[in-house]
Amino acid sequence: MAERVSGLRASRHQKLERLVERGVDPYPARVRRTHTNAQARALLLEQERVEAAAPPPAPVTVAGRVVALRGMGRSSFADLRDGTDKLQVQFRRDLLGEEYASLKDLDVGDFLEVHGSMIRTRTGEVTVEARKFTLLSKSLRPLPEKWHGLRDTEQRYRRRYLDLIANHDEVMPTFLKRSRVIEGIRAFMSGRGFVEVDTPVLVPVAGGALASPFITHHHALDQDLYMRIATELYLKRLIVGGFDKVYEIGRIFRNEGVDQDHNPEFTMMESYEAYADYTNVMSMVEEMVSTVAQAVLGSAVVRHGEQDVDLSPPWRRIPFLEAVEEHAGIDLYPYVLGGKGADELAAEARAKGFDVADGPVHRVYDKLLSLSVEPRLIAPTFIVDYPMIMSPLAKQKPGSPHLVERFEAFAVGMEVANAYTELNDPVEQRRRFQAQEEVRRRYGDEEMDRTDEDFLLALEYGMPPTGGLGIGIDRLVMLLTGQTSIRDVMLFPQMRSRE
RNA sequence: GGGCCGUUAGCUCAGUUUGGUCAGAGCACCGGACUUUUAAUCCGGGUGUCCAGGGUUCGAAUCCCUGACGGCCCA
């Protein structure tokens, strides 16, 4: 029973019916491809290179999507695209006979298998001269326009497959690079002796970051569970268990807004290295990012708007308090020492023209950093030594009781990494969690770290001094591909459902 | 959460200021011509829930209200 279709789609359905009437299977199960488009092209080039007099290469069978059709009467051309290349096909009535007429049931968007010889046309185009062709899959919808592609951002994100087809040359390379960035990170980490692990996504306590979790429920256990907001606390349990170097690349879920560099689910790489501290991690990050850039782009220099940004080590290192002092003109030291309070700081910040709300002091610190410092950090920069209140999982900096050994890495005005010398003192860790709970109660702020008793128990068994790292893969891909929206480096960014 | 902008044919977009030959163009598609095209070309054809729902009006794509979705900026 055919779906009732109207307008532009009707003609494709009519073609489909004609094909079925002729006994053609519009969706056959078998493909007899002998060469990818790239291989077929290479075959001809190789033959031309070796000797013009050499025997012509044997016929090939290629397959792909018809992305262009040019009818010329007794001869027609199609462009066939597979995952490797685009290849022209010529159909000649004198070579195809009766079969030539069935071209009229072919549409742009159909998948086709073509058997024929590799030739060069008079204009020099490498071409398959068809002797036989078989429909592999009938397309029932017209594709977006060939000149402008698909411009509507909403459609590009909601129907990414169309974006990939219509804007192939712009969009596909970004996602291929994304894949190679992740490969590059794995190679780098593996080369340094790190072991890749998988830890739970569904967790009883959403800890390890200052963020709101998604909540869900397990029916059989009759227990609420959370989607992880970090992998940190599980990876540290593994350090307790005796892994010296572990990392995980995985999806993280944070119940927060959507904007140009936030998506509720995103990909993070976290690593933990025993017997290391945050200075070792800094060196590793510099090296990793420039190595991956080199591997994926062939250069450690990326383009950001009008300027070149060199990712080669060493990166600039600026203490947190100095950075805020320099860019915001506010001396945070009295606040960090505890002499002055959060409301006073918020008032001072507002007096300097920063739009910050009253709230927990760590929020004001964070706001000042993101308003005054972050946008100016175009060249890769480490901000180091954060106020302790912002960083409940980081170890105190020796000699600076209110600071911790923490850094964040910034580039092109965006945070890309966060790392600590990990706090491994279980008594102190409990105290820090309690301080977080305290702030949560006082301000009703869900974005505070949560006490994870099972994690504290693990720490009590003893964790070696450890350097830990979290690096946002999506943002790293943005940095390396020059994209300014996280949606353009995620295949399926979060969108509101349409009703 | 606030502000601004957008939503019209399968796609890319005009048309909204000033309500009335405003249902339009290009590509795509359909019919015809064409044996070397590659944004093929030439001739003919408009295929539509103007985002949705209310309202104003003799008359609404256009003005007003509400809502949906998206983008950008701010928070």
Which parts of A255-360 fold into alpha helices (H)? 278-297, 320-328, 333-337, 342-351
Indicate the pLDDT class of residue A359, thresholds 50, 70 and 90.
confident
pLDDT at position A4 is 42
Q: Which nucleotides of B are covered by protein (CB under 7 A)?
A: 1, 6, 9-13, 26-31, 33-41, 47-49, 68-75
Mean pLDDT of A319-336: 93
Average pLDDT over residues A447-455: 89
Identify the H or E element spanning A186.
Answer: helix A168-191
Whether the predicted pLDDT of A402 surpasses 80: yes
CA A385 to chain centre: 28
In this predicted structure, what is the pLDDT of residue A2? Answer: 32
| Among A15-24, A49-58, A87-96, A290-299, the least confident range | A49-58
Q: Say how far A146 CA is from B36 C1', in Å.
A: 22
Question: What Rg do the C-alpha atoms of chain A give, in angstroms?
Answer: 29
**Residue pLDDT, tens place only, A187-206:** 999 999 999 999 999 999 99
Closest protein CA to C1' of nucleotide B10, residue: A142
Handedness of CA A372, A378, A384, A386 (dihedral sign): positive
Q: Is the peptide bond prior to A173 cis by the omega test (within 30 degrees of 0)?
A: no
- Cβ neighbour number for residue A145 with a 10 Å cutoff: 10
pLDDT band at residue A408 under the 50/70/90 scheme: very high
Nearest nucleotide, CA A106 to C1': B29
- Domains defined for chain A, CATH in brackets: 2-143 (2.40.50.140), 166-315+379-488 (3.30.930.10)
**SS3 call for A307:** strand
The 10 Å Cβ neighbour count of residue A84 is: 16
State, as a whole number of angstroms, the distance between the CA of A271 and the C1' of B56. Answer: 64
Query: CA-CA distances (angstroms) from residue A492 to A270, A366, A487?
Result: 23, 29, 8
pTM above 0.90, yes or no: yes
Are A369 and A397 in contact by the 8 Å Cβ rule? The answer is no
The predicted pLDDT at position A442 comes to: 85
Residue A97 is classified by DSSP as G
Section A460-489 average pLDDT: 96
pLDDT band, very low/low/confident/very high, at A6 (cuts 50, 70, 90): low
Q: CA–C1' span, A272 to B11, in Å?
A: 49
SS (H, E, C) A406-429: EEEEEECCEEEEEEEEECCCHHHH
Does residue A448 surpass a pLDDT of 90? no
Tens of pLDDT, residue by residue over A368-385, are 999 999 999 999 999 999
Give pLDDT, residue A499.
59
Element (H, E) at A311: none
Q: In whole angstroms, give the CA distance from residue A407 to residue A423.
A: 14
Query: Are the CB atoms for A358 and A346 separated by under 8 Å?
Result: yes
Query: What's the Å distance between residue A69 CA and nucleotide B35 C1'?
Result: 16
